[in-house]
Amino acid sequence: MKKLMMIGSALLVLSSSAYASQARLLALGMNETDNEGMYHISDERNIFLNPAYINIYNNMAIAEWGSVGSYARVTATSGLGTAGGTSTATLNDAASPKAQGGVFKKSGDFVYGVYFGNESNTSSLLRVAGTSAASTFDKFAGAGTVQSKMLSTADNQLDLFFGGDNGLKWAVNPVLTFGKDETRGAKDSGYSIRGGVIASNWDAHLNLSLGSKSEANEAITIPAAALAQQVSDEFKGSIGFHVGGSYILSGKNRVFGYVKHYGWEQSDNFASYATTNAINLGGSTGIGGQQGTVKGDFTSYYLGWGSEYDVNANDKIFYSLAAKKTDINLEFSNKSEVRNLILPLTIGYEAQALEWLTLRGSVVQNLWGTRDNKNINNYTGATGTRLNRVASGLITGIYGGSGKTTISNSTKINAGATLKFGQFSVDGLIGATSGSRAGTVGSNTNTGALAFDNLETAVAMTYKF
């Protein structure tokens, strides 16, 4: 808090608003897997939803603080011992964000830009699901250390932007990811392209995933089963799409929606599944892996309405009501399924508290929701093949575990702030401490308490030039 006050007292000049971060939209209630943006709130982050927004937001540089993200690995539960080492599978998380940033410039009738590090969580989650079940149990020894060897997730992402305005704002955004680790016999790659247009009262986008692949061939050890063998696994994505847009009904009332779909195949080659599936590991009947190829698909539907209200010259209220349905299928012998439907109501408030300080917050409540999931976390006494342990933990954390039920206790509160340094703006998400997130191992236990050392947990800087 003292640091926050010292920064504020040093500011002398108020610049124009320059919001361009996940931190701002998360504080206003954004709840998307990839934090792409929000249809009904103006923010530079929307360029990742519809690249045509670079015609509105440009001549700026963005830097989002972070590191490699949140590791995906076996949780230290159910007799699995402790999670040791690191994992090559990472996700962008508000508590453990990935570093990213870029520059956007207008030149004549055109706008161009480059951005680094905006990796897709959806792509990463699918690759986690595609990892060999045997690899997640590397070095399993009952009460010892598990070092999950996951397929590499999308990394080193490069986004290029080019657009213009000839009465209809347009832009294209090619995307490339790549990585290689010869010590693990692992490599990954992905390429896609986004395109979008913006008219006076509507906008639309089509984002195509043209290819995605990750593979590894490495040694693992399972002491409990006295095994030390090679595992070969591969994830191969087919063509995917994300198509959507919005339409202004009247004033600031806007309807919006999208359909997002991805399909993939995952191959697993581990000669000793027959042995390990007969040995009890961590409360399960064996590892549960499957030789050969398994197909999977992910589909999400989103439809909503949003608007904003000017409280005064500086303060705004944002609100939206939406319906979101997610279906996931993995064709193991014990087929894993996610059937998730929620109707979130989101209310956000943004206020200029001081000349140099903007505060914001939001509340999100699922007015109604249901889930009907199958074989997501059913391990004890289970037989046959099924989802690997790491994917199970991550999916459970997002969509809940196995079973059919209504979704309860869904209220979420977020808050954030922007500090202004002339042409610089620093956005931060004000975080509360929480327990371990499913699929990872954490140390915070004071759930729901706001700690002074946990202010500005996700930080981004924007410079307008």
Backbone torsions φ then ψ of 169, nearest 5 degrees: -70, 135
pLDDT exceeds cutoff 50 at 392: yes
39 and 57 Cβ atoms separated by less than 8 Å:
no
User: Can you tell me the distance from the alpha carbon of 97 to that of 66, in angstroms, rounded to the nearest whole number?
Assistant: 5
Cα 141 to its chain centre, rounded Å, is 32
Q: Considering the chain, what percentage of its residues have pLDDT values greater than 70?
A: 84
Condensed to tens digits (0 to 9), the pLDDT of residues 312-366 reads: 988 999 999 999 999 999 999 889 999 999 999 999 999 999 989 999 999 999 9
Q: Considering the chain, what percentage of its residues have pLDDT values greater than 90?
A: 51
Local structure of 238: helix, strand or coil: coil
Q: Stretch 199-227: mean pLDDT, rounded?
A: 89
User: Can you tell me the distance from the alpha carbon of 292 to that of 288, in angstroms, rounded to the nearest whole number?
Assistant: 13
Model confidence at 83, pLDDT cuts 50, 70, 90, reads low
Condensed to tens digits (0 to 9), the pLDDT of residues 7-58 reads: 333 332 333 344 557 889 999 999 888 889 999 999 999 999 999 999 999 9
pLDDT exceeds cutoff 50 at 164: yes
What is the pTM assigned to this prediction? Answer: 0.87
Backbone torsions φ then ψ of 260, nearest 5 degrees: -125, 130
pLDDT at 327: 97
Structure tokens, 263? 């399909």
* Low-confidence winner among 66-70, 107-111, 178-182, 302-306 (lowest mean pLDDT): 66-70
pLDDT at 457: 64
pLDDT at 38: 94
* Low-confidence winner among 54-63, 192-201, 399-408 (lowest mean pLDDT): 399-408
Domain ranges of the chain: 2-464
Continuous segment of H or E residues that includes residue 275: helix 273-276
Continuous segment of H or E residues that includes residue 336: strand 336-354
Spell out the residues 6+ positions from residue 183 whose beta carbon is closer than 8 angstroms to its own: none
Model confidence at 184, pLDDT cuts 50, 70, 90, reads confident
Least Cα distance to 205 among 181, 232, 170 occurs for: 170
130 and 296 Cβ atoms separated by less than 8 Å:
yes
Least Cα distance to 38 among 250, 254, 221 occurs for: 254
pLDDT at 377: 83
DSSP 8-state code for residue 224: G
CB atoms within 10 A of CB 2: 7
Q: Stretch 261-266: mean pLDDT, rounded?
A: 96
Least Cα distance to 22 among 4, 49, 51 occurs for: 49
Least Cα distance to 121 among 83, 88, 92 occurs for: 92
Condensed to tens digits (0 to 9), the pLDDT of residues 423-465 reads: 889 988 886 544 333 333 333 333 444 444 445 567 888 999 8
pLDDT at 153: 87
